[in-house]
Amino acid sequence: MDFEIQETPEAREFRKDVRAWLATNIPKDFPRHADPSDYSYDDFLKTRDLGRKLGELGWLWPTAPKKYGGGGLSIELGIALEEELDQLDLSLPPYYDPGCRYGAPVLMVWGTEEQKTRLLPPMFKGEVAGWQLFTEPTSGSDLYSLKTTAVRDGNHYVLNGQKAFVGTAYDVDFFIILVRTDPKAERYKNLGWFQMPANLPGISRSPMRLLWTDGTGGASNIVTFENVRVPASCLIGGENNGFEVSKSWAELEHGIAGTIRRNRLITRLFAYVKQAQRGGVHLIDDPQVRSVLTDIFITSEVNRLLGLRNYWMSRTQQPVTYQGPQASYIRKMSGLETAKNILKILGPYALTSDPLWDLSDGHVEADQRHSICALHPGATEDIQRVIMARRIGIGRVEIEKPGKLTSLVTPVG
Amino acid sequence: MDLSLNERQLQLKSAAREFVAKEYPHEKLAELNRSDTGLERDTWRRAADVGLLGALIDPNLQGTGNSLTDAAVIFEELGRGPVPGPFFSSAVLSTLIIDECATPEQRSALLPTLASGQEIATLAMTEPGYGWDPESVQVRGKRVSDGYLLNGTKLFVHDVLAATKFICVVRTNGVKKGKGGLSVLVVDANASGLHRRTLPGFMNQVGELRFEGVRVPEEALLGNITDSWNQLQTAFQKAMPILSAFKVGGCEAIFQLSVEYSRSRIAFGVPIGRFQRVQDHIIEIVNRLDAARWTTYEALWKLDSGRPAAISSHLSKIVASEGYYEGCNYAHEAHGGIGTSYEYPLVAHTRMSRTLLHQLGEPQYHRQQLATYMAAQDYA
């Protein structure tokens, strides 16, 4: 066994080029905020601009196929690139873009050659970013009960309905949306998957103020569709096949791609407890603090290793069953547990992002909120367990198959 | 990166699985798990024949010279049984202690006898003032003209009745504190003044060892050194993830048992696994299984490749020990009453998970060790 990714000599050389490029292209004051909702519009534009520059070099989605506008780099080079960005507290892409992160691998499976050739290059070059529109005000865990409709009209589909918990406060270029295309067909055979422009007439947004959108630039959205005419060429995966397509997306969102990213929160926490004192004693030297820190560490190690396992399994095309939702379930639950443990150690300090009194640049306080919000995206922790049970075959002999995937576009997960 | 087992390990795995299937049918396992020694001499000889007892011993000393990961693959299979008996005590823990502490002459004399199964060794370290830190070792090995004189009690000694040799950690310099003077003496089980018995209760083959004026010769001292604490800790760090691998095997067995039961047991007209509350119990088992598996094999990889492994080794011990213990509890929740029958394979695991929970240190002890290493290391 080997738990480490070995750096090739080529990657070592490439790292130097990357470092030099980043030094000239990323100013010291490049925006980085603990809370995604703290980004101003100007900050947001800077991150998109960096994305375009990286995209031109093939460095935004470095391991995506060159044929479709990706970098075509080996995993080793992609990792070197991500690690250099990580040194600057940045990652790929430097903004919220599930439309490309999950949408591109889905297109690779389900798109026609024409769709892949047309849609993927602007995605991989950072010219466009996209959001997902699945959840509705009355369809969450029971996603496939969704009510938004798409009715065929000549070369178009006409969309009506509402989607909730969508995206962030600023610009977006395309939507990936799951809608009901056949009102009469049975469940799972009545859905369509569209990748469509986000600016068509009849689309409107209203902000949702959520626990993770505390910042001045923060909001998620309700998106309303009123007789929105979407070109039929936006349908991905064919008529009434949206359920199958959505399974590929879900596989990724649940975490089958794994990750080899470091846990920045843990790094920050250890720095914090070595620096902060209570009653003249450094927190790290307090036996009770140490005991709680140990629990935090054990949890984070288990998460790291399951992320690593999934990373290895997905990159080496091992047959997977329950591993994606398992990583998701454990990540969600241990995130909440860790937030509680941090609160035990830091007390009320964990609940303020005040620049004078907080020692973590707001990261600890943001985590207290985000760990709750993180329970729900990509299906709740309860749904993850339901999927695990089906994939393991608890109480049943026939085992549910995972969503289809052919390639991944991220080097580090 | 490659998280798969190599050719050799796959071969060892299937050979070990075959050995367990052949030697330990369910009825025999149930009986042996509760016997005084967990051992049948014939089986022990055949274990030696297939190279199991010398798994970590140099080929020049009649062993098979495996890596720690190789040995762990074998022990994972034994854990699936769970196979009782002094496999871990003799072939792993005692072997590694002798390897770390003994002189080359002592190694040549002792290790081949362990590989052949002629002798069975076990560690005698903890005492009535239970603990795995230096201060908890108080039994005195008093220096006398022709060797050492032992008086006192060792408690919670694993495989206490199966062993023919005790690897005893004692104080030889008269000082009651610190690591200095902590020495390892090899004591014959038939030495005069040595009394042993197993303890009744929710553990298997764990017992008490009393020294009443036991005399051992000078050569009984491993390594001719009187300060063996650091070498002992090195041996423990290597042994811990192999013990964890045994527990990984145990977790895997109870997971499979529970999944099968969830399919076959009908209640309210459906297989009980259709109920989400039952599913949740089984999911908690697989989560503990996978956490134990990957912390364990990462620690083994670090040890085998010469990387610093202290943190990983303690981590695997905590996660696997607690995982096996809690996993059994969840399996009982999934099974209901039948799970508590000695006729059903779960109970043997439940007893084993308790028996091994404290072996080489209880989880809380390892948490303290982990904290010390973490504080010393620069995580920022």
A388 contacts in chain B (CB < 8 Å)? 279, 283, 286
Tokens of B66: 């495996």
Mark whether A262 and A367 lie in a shared domain: yes
Examine the fold and report which residue of A212, A241, A270 is the final residue of a domain before the chain moves on.
Answer: A241
Mark whether A269 and A384 lie in a shared domain: yes
Helix (H, G, I), strand (E, B) or coil at B44: helix
**Half-sphere exposure in the Cβ direction for A113 (13 Å, CA):** 1
Instruction: Calculate the CA A382 to chain-centre distance.
Output: 19
Mark whether A216 and A260 lie in a shared domain: no
User: What are the tens digits of pLDDT across the range B331-345?
Assistant: 999 999 999 999 999
- Per the CB < 8 A criterion, the answer to whether B303 and B313 are in contact is yes
Exposure b/e, A222-240, CB count within 10 A at least 16 = b: bbbbeebebeebbbbbeeb
Model confidence at B360: pLDDT above 50: yes
Examine the fold and report which residue of A241, A275, A310 is the final residue of a domain before the chain moves on.
Answer: A241
Q: Is A22 a domain residue?
A: yes
- What is the per-residue pLDDT for B378? 60
Model confidence at A409: pLDDT above 90: no
With cut-offs at 50, 70 and 90, classify the pLDDT of residue A408.
confident
Helix (H, G, I), strand (E, B) or coil at A221: strand
Q: At what angle are helices A287-315 and A323-346 packed, to 10 degrees? A: 160
Longest dimension (CA), chain B: 77
B291 contacts in chain A (CB < 8 Å)? 302, 305-306, 330
| B interface with A, Cβ–Cβ below 8 Å | 1-6, 69, 259, 262-263, 270-276, 278-280, 282-283, 286-287, 290-291, 294-295, 297-298, 300-302, 305, 315, 318-319, 367, 370-371, 374-375, 379-380
CATH code, domain with A66: 1.10.540.10
Q: State whether B273 and A297 contact (CB < 8 Å).
A: no
CATH code, domain with A143: 2.40.110.10
Examine the fold and report which residue of A93, A114, A146 is the final residue of a domain before the chain moves on.
Answer: A93
Q: Looking at the complex, does the CB of residue A262 fall below 8 Å from at least one CB of chain B?
A: no
Pairwise CA distance, residues A212 & A375, whole Å:
12
Q: Across all residues in chain B, what is the average pLDDT?
A: 96
What is the arithmetic mean of pLDDT over A135-139? 96
Q: Which residue of B278, B287, B333 is the best one to mutate when testing the A interface, meaning the one whose CB has the most A CBs within 10 A?
A: B287
Q: Is A375 a domain residue?
A: yes
What is the arithmetic mean of pLDDT over B190-211? 97
With cut-offs at 50, 70 and 90, classify the pLDDT of residue A218.
confident
Nearest by CB to residue A5, choosing from B1, B262, B280, is B1
Nearest by CB to residue A397, choosing from B263, B282, B318, is B263
Pairwise CA distance, residues B248 & B291, whole Å:
9
Model confidence at B159: pLDDT above 50: yes
Mark whether A377 and A260 lie in a shared domain: yes
Please name the residue that has the structure tokens 């959840």.
A135
B298 contacts in chain A (CB < 8 Å)? 3, 305
- What is the per-residue pLDDT for A203? 98
Pairwise CA distance, residues A80 & A18, whole Å:
8
Pairwise CA distance, residues A400 & A324, whole Å:
13
User: What are the tens digits of pLDDT across the range A343-378?
Assistant: 999 999 999 999 999 999 999 999 999 999 999 999
What is the arithmetic mean of pLDDT over A104-132? 98
B379 contacts in chain A (CB < 8 Å)? 266-267, 270-271
The predicted model scores a pTM of 0.95
In sequence order, what are the beta bridge partners of B211?
Answer: B152, B194
Q: State whether B371 and A294 contact (CB < 8 Å).
A: yes
Q: State whether B291 and A294 contact (CB < 8 Å).
A: no
Paired sense of beta strands A235-236 and A277-278, if any: unpaired
Q: Is A221 a domain residue?
A: yes
Q: Looking at the complex, does the CB of residue A2 fall below 8 Å from at least one CB of chain B?
A: yes
Helix (H, G, I), strand (E, B) or coil at A403: coil
B273 contacts in chain A (CB < 8 Å)? 389, 394-396
Positions of E strands within chain B: 121-124, 140-144, 147-158, 165-171, 182-188, 194-198, 206-217, 266-267, 270-271
Mark whether A325 and A351 lie in a shared domain: yes
Mark whether A264 and A371 lie in a shared domain: yes
Q: Which of A49-63, A205-219, A294-308, A321-335 has the lowest mean pLDDT?
A: A205-219
Q: Which residue of B5, B244, B277, B290 is the best one to mutate when testing the A interface, meaning the one whose CB has the most A CBs within 10 A?
A: B290
Q: Looking at the complex, does the CB of residue A12 fall below 8 Å from at least one CB of chain B?
A: no
- Per the CB < 8 A criterion, the answer to whether B54 and B74 are in contact is no
Q: What is the full DSSP assignment across A230-253?
A: EEGGGEESSTT-HHHHHHHHHHHH
- What is the per-residue pLDDT for A263? 86
Q: At what angle are helices B276-304 and A287-315 packed, to 10 degrees? A: 90
Q: Is A362 a domain residue?
A: yes
Q: Which residue of A3, A275, A315 is the best one to mutate when testing the B interface, meaning the one whose CB has the most B CBs within 10 A?
A: A3
What is the arithmetic mean of pLDDT over B154-162? 98
Longest dimension (CA), chain A: 75
Helix (H, G, I), strand (E, B) or coil at A206: strand
Pairwise CA distance, residues A369 & A384, whole Å:
21
Q: Which residue of A359, A394, A396, A399 is the best one to mutate when testing the B interface, meaning the one whose CB has the most B CBs within 10 A?
A: A394
Closest-CA residue to A216 (of A26, A1, A35): A35
**Half-sphere exposure in the Cβ direction for B379 (13 Å, CA):** 24
Q: Looking at the complex, does the CB of residue A329 fall below 8 Å from at least one CB of chain B?
A: yes
A294 contacts in chain B (CB < 8 Å)? 367, 370-371, 374
Q: Is A273 a domain residue?
A: yes
| A404 DSSP 8-state letter | P
Mark whether A361 and A271 lie in a shared domain: yes
- Per the CB < 8 A criterion, the answer to whether A295 and A341 are in contact is yes
Q: Is A408 a domain residue?
A: no
Of all residues in chain B, the percent with pLDDT exceeding 70 is 99
**Phi and psi (nearest 5°) for B219?**
-65, -10
- What is the per-residue pLDDT for A387? 96
Q: Is A74 a domain residue?
A: yes
A397 contacts in chain B (CB < 8 Å)? 263
Pairwise CA distance, residues B320 & B50, whole Å:
27
Q: Is A218 a domain residue?
A: yes
Mark whether A46 and A16 lie in a shared domain: yes
Q: Looking at the complex, does the CB of residue A393 fall below 8 Å from at least one CB of chain B?
A: yes
Closest-CA residue to B19 (of B50, B40, B42, B41): B50
Mark whether A73 and A20 lie in a shared domain: yes
Paired sense of beta strands B165-171 and B266-267, if any: unpaired
- What is the per-residue pLDDT for A262? 83
Q: Looking at the complex, does the CB of residue A273 fall below 8 Å from at least one CB of chain B?
A: no
φ/ψ region of A146 (left if φ > 0, alpha if ψ in -120 to 50, else beta) reads beta
Nearest by CB to residue A396, choosing from B273, B275, B291, is B273
How many angstroms separate the Cα of A160 from the Cα of each of A197, A203, A222?
15, 9, 13
Closest-CA residue to A14 (of A68, A86, A69, A82): A82
Q: State whether A309 and B283 contact (CB < 8 Å).
A: no
Q: Indicate the length of chain A as a whole number.
A: 413
- Spell out the residues 6+ positions from residue B360 whose beta carbon is closer than 8 angstroms to its own: B93, B132, B236, B239, B240, B243, B317
CATH code, domain with A318: 1.20.140.10
Mark whether A258 and A196 lie in a shared domain: no
- Minimal Cα–Cα distance from A302 to chain B, Å? 6
Q: State whether B367 and A388 contact (CB < 8 Å).
A: no
- What is the per-residue pLDDT for B219? 95
- Minimal Cα–Cα distance from A287 to chain B, Å? 9
B4 contacts in chain A (CB < 8 Å)? 1
Tokens of B69: 């990961």
Q: Looking at the complex, does the CB of residue A319 fall below 8 Å from at least one CB of chain B?
A: no
- Per the CB < 8 A criterion, the answer to whether B161 and B189 are in contact is no
User: What are the tens digits of pLDDT across the range A287-296?
Assistant: 999 999 999 9
Q: Which residue of B254, B283, B321 is the best one to mutate when testing the A interface, meaning the one whose CB has the most A CBs within 10 A?
A: B283
A393 contacts in chain B (CB < 8 Å)? 259, 263
User: What are the tens digits of pLDDT across the range B209-222?
Assistant: 999 999 999 999 99
With cut-offs at 50, 70 and 90, classify the pLDDT of residue B380.
very low
> Domain of A81?
9-93
**Proportion of chain A in helix, strand, coil states, percent, rounded to 5:** 45, 15, 40
Pairwise CA distance, residues A198 & A262, whole Å:
33
Query: How many Cβ pairs within 8 Å bridge chains A and B?
Result: 129
- In chain A, count H helices and then E strands: 12, 10
Please name the residue that has the structure tokens 């720690």.
B68
Mark whether A261 and A383 lie in a shared domain: yes
- Minimal Cα–Cα distance from A25 to chain B, Å? 26
In sequence order, what are the beta bridge partners of A278?
Answer: A281
Total number of domains constituting chain A: 3
B6 contacts in chain A (CB < 8 Å)? 1
Q: Across all residues in chain A, what is the average pLDDT?
A: 95
Mark whether A154 and A60 lie in a shared domain: no
Please say whether the dihedral angle defined by the alpha carbons of residues A116, A122, A123 and A125, taken in this order, is positive or negative.
Answer: positive
Closest-CA residue to B187 (of B207, B206, B168, B211): B168
